[in-house]
Amino acid sequence: MSDRKGGCLCGAVRYVLKGEPRGVALCHCTHCQRLSGSLFSFNLVMRETDYEQSGATMIYVDSGDSGHPVFRHFCGRCGSPLVSSTALMPGKLVLKAGTLDSKDGLQPKIEVYTDHAATWLEPVAGAQRYPQNV
Q: Which residues bind Zn ion (CB under 5 A)?
A: 8, 10, 12, 75, 77-78
Q: What is the dihedral of CA 45, 43, 25, 100, to 10 degrees?
A: -100
Minimum CB distance to Zn ion, residue 101 (Å): 14
Minimum CB distance to Zn ion, residue 122 (Å): 32
- Residue 10 or 121: the one with the smaller Cβ distance to Zn ion is 10
Distance CA 71, CA 81 (A): 11
Minimum CB distance to Zn ion, residue 32 (Å): 19
- Residue 13 or 117: the one with the smaller Cβ distance to Zn ion is 13
Long-range contacts of 35-40 (CB under 8 A, 24+ apart): 35/72, 35/81, 36/81, 36/96, 36/98, 39/117, 39/118, 39/121, 40/117, 40/121
Minimum CB distance to Zn ion, residue 82 (Å): 9
- Residue 19 or 79: the one with the smaller Cβ distance to Zn ion is 79
- Residue 12 or 106: the one with the smaller Cβ distance to Zn ion is 12
